[in-house]
Amino acid sequence: MDSFFFPDWYARFFRMAFRTLVLIGILAPSALAADNPATAPSPAAAVATPAAAPGASGNPAPAAASDSAAATIPPGTKITMQNWQQYTQFMPDGMVDLFAGKYFWKMPADVEMDIGPTVINPLPKGYLEATEKYRGQTQIVQLPDGGLTLANYNGGLPFPDPVEPHQGWKILADFWFRYFPHIVVNDNDNLGFMCTLNSFGAVSCVKGLWEYRQHSYNTDPGVPATLPNSEGKFYTTWFMTMEPEQARYAANLLIAYTDLTKPQTTYIFKPALRRAEELSAAARCASEGSDTTPDDSFFGFDGDIPNFDSNLVATRRIIDQLDIGTAGANLPEDYDMPLGWPKPSWGKWEVRDAYELDIRRIPAKSRSYCYGKRIMYLDRQFYGALWEDLYDSEMKLWKIALLQPIVMKVPQLGPQNSAGAQISHFWNIQSNHATFSGPNDGHGYNVLINDEVPKQYLDIEKYTTPGGLNQIMR
């Protein structure tokens, strides 16, 4: 399950409803990246690729490589508080600062990151075929306000070989249109969760049902590329609270469109009013009660991309933990506290080839926006987000996020990294607060995909339209 957000009215309820939940111990301090405003490298430097960097198919992509770019960490290595400084070249800035202990949040004294082999799960055949079929057809269009959009996109990676001009924005577009299954669901047996953690160790959690559905550009077997009556939708996400009981039935629906210049719309269902209402576009920075905003959804970034510039800072290798097996959804029991870091039992860490992007609102759309910049690390093989360092409007470090796209088996396609589930960890260093979210109530990876989805969740009216929200409680 993706991280989700709460409108202000619900966040206030969320905060009050859980004040009496159990304290889990006093938290210790930690760290994040110092503000070094990123500058884009020269085109020649930006396209430098490690010799073994995988392409979308999983095969090595040809390119020149420096010695440092080709460096790796041998499987079997254990990164701990005693030796972490040997591996900083493989860590995002925020991870380095968590180890260094610069802020309230910091690595637990017993932290252990076990390095395993890098596992490449090739992208689905249909997605790769669409990439090749439409290669070179997608075009970038300059908008009057200075933003960019796409023309003639029809499926697959829009820019399988992103180069200048607009290299960083092309990579962002590849992230936006990365592979996802057609439909992903958490049902009543596998409730998605979001938990917050404060500086006193108090935990507050909400659990609920979640559905992601892709309406256009589908490449999965037996699924139409465009669903009938999709009305220009790219994808929709739907969430309804199931626990705690006093918040039950609060719900929201997000609609993203194939026309990138059309702003996403979000509708919320308020149980007390028995009706859905459209949320103001000004709520893109709403985060009261949690440490995520609407723009932090979609497994890392859900901003309308024509509103943003994106510059490639570097191509580098970083470590992340993806195939997390039986990672738990229970906070604090299944996490390495007091930080809330993954335990060694979650699985092995991998050395991944990544793009480091500096993403900022275009000047015409930057006024009153919450983030000054988003430093996002994207996996170069499947284009999922692995890590983020988020800065406020004054370019002071605000939040860091470890993002773990969970490897799952997609029916008829095998294991995929972008399969519709993720464990997200957001640490807010300015308020000493944290937020964790994930796909289910017991194991951290059991969600239902495509052919596994029960028939009742295929109701397009109920789960993808504002009218469907109005059916709740009836």
pLDDT digits (tens, 9 = 90+) for 278-329: 988 777 887 757 899 999 999 999 999 999 999 999 999 999 999 886 676 7
Band (pLDDT 50/70/90 cuts) for residue 68 is low
What is the pLDDT, as a whole number, of residue 56? 45
Can you give the residue ranges of every domain in the chain?
Answer: 8-35+80-306+319-350+409-469
Backbone angles phi, psi at 437, to 5 degrees: -145, 160
Mean pLDDT for the chain overall:
85
Tell me: pLDDT of 32 over 70. no
Mean pLDDT on 143-172: 98
pLDDT digits (tens, 9 = 90+) for 365-374: 999 899 999 9
Tell me: pLDDT of 65 over 60. no
pTM score: 0.86
How far, in Å, CA of 214 to CA of 420, rounded? 11
Q: 448: which strand partners?
A: 185
Q: Which of 357, 353, 283 is nearest to 317 (CA)?
A: 353
- Among 70-74, 307-311, 438-442, name the most confident range: 307-311
pLDDT digits (tens, 9 = 90+) for 450-469: 999 999 999 999 999 999 99
How far, in Å, CA of 146 to CA of 135, rounded? 26
Mean pLDDT on 252-269: 96
Look up residue 308 and give its amino acid: F
Mean pLDDT on 186-210: 90
* Integer CA distances (angstroms), 4 to 162, 254, 285, 310, 409, in order: 30, 10, 13, 23, 23
Largest Cα separation within the chain, whole Å, is 63
- Among 17-21, 103-107, 420-424, 467-471, name the most confident range: 103-107
Look up residue 330 and give its amino acid: N
Characterise 412 by phi-psi region: left (phi > 0), alpha (psi -120 to 50), beta (else): left
Residue whose tokens read 């991870």: 95
| DSSP secondary structure of 184-230 | EEE-TTS-EEEEEE-TT-BEEEEEEEEEEEE-SS--STTS-SS-TT-
